[in-house]
């Protein structure tokens, strides 16, 4: 007796379809959902994956302060006998006096010491300029309140002894005030200004000499040093014999 061909065909199709579905499920669960570990020699091994770097602390607002700003007793002391001054800086800072200009020394968090960039937040001391003007008059004549980014206003003309040709040296000048710094309460003048890639808080000192010593806090897109640390360093600055 011959099987019913009309009934046999649908049954065969159902069986084939079921086999395909089961086979696909088996392949997926064994090879895709739970892939076997690759050997060290295969292209997908960890050897060929992008290196995962540890998180860096070198970012904006990433200020490490193991010593409190109000306690400078454990801070290191930098002494410059050539220019006659000394200042303290936090133990997690390093000192750099290898700048291209003589008389400039910088201080920054040690996290930046191994970074291949000079574009980091810092505090620097500079034997800036010599003038017989008062510190306030000097800043007023050499600077302008106009922002360096304000292209809609004409460039002001300054009585500039530094650059000459009437160009302004300080842009975006603000927060001007007189104060006293250090254990000897040295008269000083403080203000903020800006350049293309950074802003500065400056403290100028001129004591019994026409030469201005400037202590500046630089803030960049990479971060900043807290105002508390800056003020604490200023509180330790003094001239020495």
Q: What is the pLDDT of residues 79-104, one digit of tens each?
A: 999 899 999 999 999 999 876 677 89
Q: What is the pLDDT of residues 102-143, one digit of tens each?
A: 789 999 999 998 887 778 999 999 987 888 889 999 999 899
Taking the CB of residue 176, how many other CB atoms lie within 10 A of it?
15
Helix (H) / strand (E) containing 44 = none
Domain 76-239 fold: Protein Transport Mog1p; Chain A (3.40.1000)
Higher pLDDT, 156 or 161: 156
Taking the CB of residue 223, how many other CB atoms lie within 10 A of it?
19
Q: Where are the domains of the chain?
A: 1-50, 76-239
The answer to whether 166 touches 188, Cβ cutoff 8 Å, is: no
Model confidence, pTM? 0.69
The answer to whether 78 touches 90, Cβ cutoff 8 Å, is: no
**Residue 25 has what pLDDT?**
56
| d(C-alpha 155, C-alpha 164), whole Å | 14
At 1, the pLDDT band (50, 70, 90 cuts) reads: very low
């Amino acid at each position: 007796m011959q099987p019913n061909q009309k009934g046999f065909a649908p049954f065969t199709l159902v069986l084939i379809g079921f086999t395909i579905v089961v086979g696909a499920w088996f392949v997926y669960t064994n090879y895709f959902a739970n892939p076997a570990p690759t050997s060290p020699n295969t292209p997908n091994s960890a050897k060929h994956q992008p290196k995962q770097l540890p998180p860096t602390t070198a970012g904006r607002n990433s200020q490490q302060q193991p010593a409190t700003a109000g306690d400078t007793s454990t801070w290191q002391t930098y002494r410059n006998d050539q220019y006659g001054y000394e200042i303290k800086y936090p133990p997690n800072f390093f000192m750099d006096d290898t700048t291209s200009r003589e008389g400039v020394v910088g201080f920054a968090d040690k996290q930046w010491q191994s970074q291949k960039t000079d574009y980091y937040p810092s505090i620097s001391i500079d034997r800036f300029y010599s003038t017989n003007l008062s510190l306030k008059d000097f800043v007023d004549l050499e600077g302008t309140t106009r922002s360096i980014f304000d292209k809609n206003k004409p460039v002001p003309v300054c009585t500039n002894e530094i650059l000459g040709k009437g160009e302004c040296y300080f842009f975006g000048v603000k927060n001007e005030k007189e104060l006293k710094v250090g254990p000897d309460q040295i008269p000083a003048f403080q203000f903020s200004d800006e350049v293309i890639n950074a802003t500065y808080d400056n403290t100028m000192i001129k004591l019994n000499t026409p030469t201005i010593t400037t202590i500046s806090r630089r803030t960049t897109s990479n971060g900043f040093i807290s105002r508390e640390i800056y003020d604490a360093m200023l509180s330790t600055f003094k001239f020495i014999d």
